[in-house]
Amino acid sequence: MKTIDWVVLFSWLLFLTGFGLYRGRGSRNVSQFLLAGKSMPWYAMGLSILATQASAITFISTTGQGYVDGLRFVQFYFGLPLAMIVISMIAVPVFHRAKVFTAYEFLEARFDSKTRALVSGIFVIQRGLSAGIGLYAPAVALSAVLGWSDRWTTVLIGMLVVTYTVSGGIKALTWADVLQMSMIFCALLASILVAIHSLPKSISFGDALHLAGAAGRLKIVDPKFNWSDRYNLWSGLIGGAFLALAYFGCDQSQVQRYLTGRSISESRLSLMFTAIVKIPMQAFILFIGAMVFVLYLFVPSPVIFQPNQAALAARSPGWTKVESRYRQAFERRRDSAYSLAAAARNPQTGLTQNVAAFRNADKELANTRKAALGEFDDTNYIFLSFVLHYLPAGLVGLTIGVIFSASMGSTSGEINSLATVSVIDLYKRYVAKDKSDRHYLTASRLLTVFWGAFAVTFACFGSRGFGALIERVNIVGSLFYGGLLGVFVLAFGFRHVGGTAAFIGVLAGEAAIFTVAAATSMSFLWYNVVGCVVVVAVALAVEMLMGERRGGLAAAAGSRPPHGNS
Amino acid sequence: MRKPIQPSKFASIESDEDTPPPFLGSWKRVYLGVVAYLFALIVALYVLTVEFSYK
């Protein structure tokens, strides 16, 4: 990176932190600190919801996934708009009118304290774990590219996030998210324009689409049903809807966003905004990856995108031969890509043969890389490599800054929601009841610092050796979301079910999910369906048995003589 | 012991009709609009898939 890029990067990070501090001023009570005094407009909540999900690793990985696998991952989001409608119809009015700080507070009002404590505990474990991993993953990628220690990168992100979240609470982080998402859209737009502009003069945008299609990068919708296939239309619509229902309806890091709305309408509008924007946004990010793939059909890409590994490989004996073989395979693929682009413009010139030749050349290049590197995966470095090599000076610093802030946005949302659940559902409920508002405000700030420190410590030490697990964050989430969703379905849909039945149902649902995950090859998107169905079925069965028992006892009591002691 | 609260105690979807959305007149129409949008989006992406898929 050039000096101008460093200046832009640090200016952006400082400006963002200052902006968060400025907009978050005046949070002087618990309601203002945790729910922004219910004052937020719909567009700020909507952008904040998007920012909380758009972590840096999603940003980096999604473009990499578009490069390697095309746009089919977008099917994962097809169920999201349906889930948003259900939440907007049912959950938003209930949460608003219940005047709760957390979704789990409602569970005690509806069921009992043990169900609330169990679900709060599940949330704290799951979200606490992912906050650490979410901070670690982008720090590793960014530090490799910038040449920094990943610990310093983690500490830098953590300190900036904690600074404005402790000071201004959810108001600060929501307004910071608004700024971040605006800049993310700008950086994405600049990236796609640069990728297309960098193509050779003879290759038009239409040619690029044909090449991406021939390479399988534009296989977006797969209508065939398959339990084991992770991404198809049906797993996206059904499994994705369940996952989104659980995530947006039961995960405090999301629920808290729309609880800050100044009215039910504002909260509903923020969810409808997310429902409309999310799929095109994800498709666009994946499409950038596909266009970077097309660009690298014509300009040589590095054999290894990960800079540290590339430097190590360059020192190993025999690497020159590997590079030479890779270069030859690249040139054959480039020539076949030119021929295919010409054939696509004039289909009479043997389009089918050209497609076959191009695919063979692409496969040969992939095999050459695999023969040299084995199963080595550096997908997460593809976009960063593109940014550093192709974006103009200044824009490089801004894009890297945007990736940093994406990590900050998701982490701030996570530590804020963890602090909220810790204070409202655990500390205030079990440790220090009936204290002053000032006391709980101080506790909220201290617990924000605690969860920030926990995330940084976990990222610095606990995540080491868990590199492969980073890509499994969504799978880990799915292990818990089915149980959470099930208990909320019971709360909203089955009025006769009581606390004990719901509690046993959640335990049974979690046991079922872990069993399915360990014993079958079912795609993780279906775990949410399985968990939710088991929670509801077991709770209904337990409630029925308890009802019969209560009925039997009542009947026995009713059959006694009126005065009992005869 | 606190008596459990039933969802019906809070409010139903219909009772929120006093705060209609700023467009389309009612929330039902907004939801139908989002479903129609999702359907159109999936169809458009499917057409794109077919258009750029090669045997």
- Residues with Cβ within 8 Å of A469's Cβ and at least 6 positions away in sequence, in order, are A133, A476
The whole-number average pLDDT for the span A133-153 is 75
The mean pLDDT value of chain A amounts to 85
The whole-number average pLDDT for the span A303-321 is 83
Instruction: With a cut of 50, say whether residue A314 has pLDDT above it.
Output: yes
Geometric angle at alpha carbon A475, from A249 and A185, rounded to 5°: 65
Write out the H or E segment, with its range, that includes residue A74.
none
- A92, A94, A490, best to mutate vs chain B, most B CBs in 10 Å: A94
With CA atoms as reference, report the closest residue to A309 among A366, A362, A380, A404.
Answer: A380
**pLDDT number for residue B21:** 86
**pLDDT tens by residue, A395-419:** 999 988 888 888 887 888 888 899 9
The whole-number average pLDDT for the span A132-157 is 77
A-B interface: how many C-beta pairs under 8 angstroms? 101
Confidence of residue A462 (pLDDT cuts 50, 70, 90): low
Confidence of residue A501 (pLDDT cuts 50, 70, 90): very high
**pLDDT tens by residue, A4-23:** 988 998 898 888 888 888 87
SS3 A40: strand
Say if the Cβ atoms of B4 and A85 lie within 8 Å: no
| CA atoms of B21 and A1, how far apart (whole Å) | 47
Say what angle helices A42-53 and A150-197 make with each other, to 10 degrees: 110
User: What residue has token string 């390479």?
Assistant: A215
Instruction: With a cut of 90, say whether residue A473 has pLDDT above it.
Output: no
**pLDDT number for residue A195:** 93
- Residues with Cβ within 8 Å of A32's Cβ and at least 6 positions away in sequence, in order, are A26, A169, A171
Both tokens of residue A6? 């460093």
**pLDDT number for residue A270:** 92
**pLDDT tens by residue, A188-217:** 899 999 999 999 999 999 999 999 999 889
**pLDDT number for residue A502:** 93
- A73, A272, A294, best to mutate vs chain B, most B CBs in 10 Å: A272
What do you get for the CA distance between the two ends of chain A, in Å? 95
Minimum-distance CB partner of A85 among B21, B34, B48: B34
Minimum-distance CB partner of B54 among A109, A355, A499: A355
From chain B, pick out residues whose CB is under 8 angstroms from the CB of A98.
Answer: 5, 10
What do you get for the CA distance between the two ends of chain B, in Å? 68
Say if the Cβ atoms of B53 and A219 lie within 8 Å: yes
**pLDDT tens by residue, A18-55:** 888 887 777 778 888 888 878 888 888 888 888 877 77
Minimum-distance CB partner of B30 among A218, A272, A283: A272
Residue type for position A289: G
Instruction: With a cut of 60, say whether residue A64 has pLDDT above it.
Output: yes
Model confidence, pTM: 0.84
The mean pLDDT value of chain B amounts to 76
| CA atoms of A300 and A414, how far apart (whole Å) | 40
Instruction: With a cut of 70, say whether residue A514 has pLDDT above it.
Output: yes
Instruction: With a cut of 80, say whether residue A144 has pLDDT above it.
Output: no
Instruction: With a cut of 80, say whether residue A125 has pLDDT above it.
Output: yes
CA A566 to chain CA centroid, nearest Å:
68
Both tokens of residue A488? 């909320």
Minimum-distance CB partner of A221 among B19, B35, B42: B42
The whole-number average pLDDT for the span B4-13 is 46
From chain A, pick out residues whose CB is under 8 angstroms from the CB of B19.
Answer: 263-265
| CA atoms of A282 and A156, how far apart (whole Å) | 28
Write out the H or E segment, with its range, that includes residue A479.
helix A473-493
Say what angle helices A527-559 and A473-493 make with each other, to 10 degrees: 30
Nearest CA in chain B to A340: B54
Say if the Cβ atoms of B38 and A93 lie within 8 Å: no
* Phi-psi label, residue A199: left if phi above 0, alpha if psi -120 to 50, beta otherwise: beta
Residues 131-190 of A with CB under 8 A from B: none
| CA atoms of A286 and A72, how far apart (whole Å) | 9
Residues 235-274 of A with CB under 8 A from B: 263-265, 268-269, 272
Percent of chain A with pLDDT over 70: 92
A280 touches chain B (CB under 8 A): yes
| CA atoms of A203 and A341, how far apart (whole Å) | 7
**pLDDT number for residue A2:** 85
Lowest mean pLDDT among A42-56, A274-288, B38-52: A42-56
Both tokens of residue A71? 């746009």
B14 touches chain A (CB under 8 A): no
| CA atoms of A159 and A455, how far apart (whole Å) | 11
Say if the Cβ atoms of A272 and B34 lie within 8 Å: yes
The whole-number average pLDDT for the span A241-270 is 88
Say if the Cβ atoms of B7 and A110 lie within 8 Å: yes
| Contact status, residue A421 vs residue A120, Cβ threshold 8 Å | yes
Percent of chain A with pLDDT over 90: 27
The whole-number average pLDDT for the span B41-45 is 95
The whole-number average pLDDT for the span A60-77 is 88
| Contact status, residue A288 vs residue A383, Cβ threshold 8 Å | yes
Lowest mean pLDDT among A134-148, A234-248, A371-385: A134-148
- Residues with Cβ within 8 Å of A555's Cβ and at least 6 positions away in sequence, in order, are none
Q: Count the alpha carbons within 13 Å of A422 in the hemisphere toward its beta carbon.
A: 21
- A43, A69, A82, A85, best to mutate vs chain B, most B CBs in 10 Å: A85
Question: DSSP assignment, residue A462?
Answer: I
SS3 A261: strand
The whole-number average pLDDT for the span A454-475 is 63
Say if the Cβ atoms of B38 and A283 lie within 8 Å: no
**pLDDT number for residue A191:** 92
Confidence of residue B11 (pLDDT cuts 50, 70, 90): very low
B3 touches chain A (CB under 8 A): no
| CA atoms of A248 and A118, how far apart (whole Å) | 19
Question: DSSP assignment, residue A73?
Answer: G
On whether ipTM exceeds 0.90, the answer is no
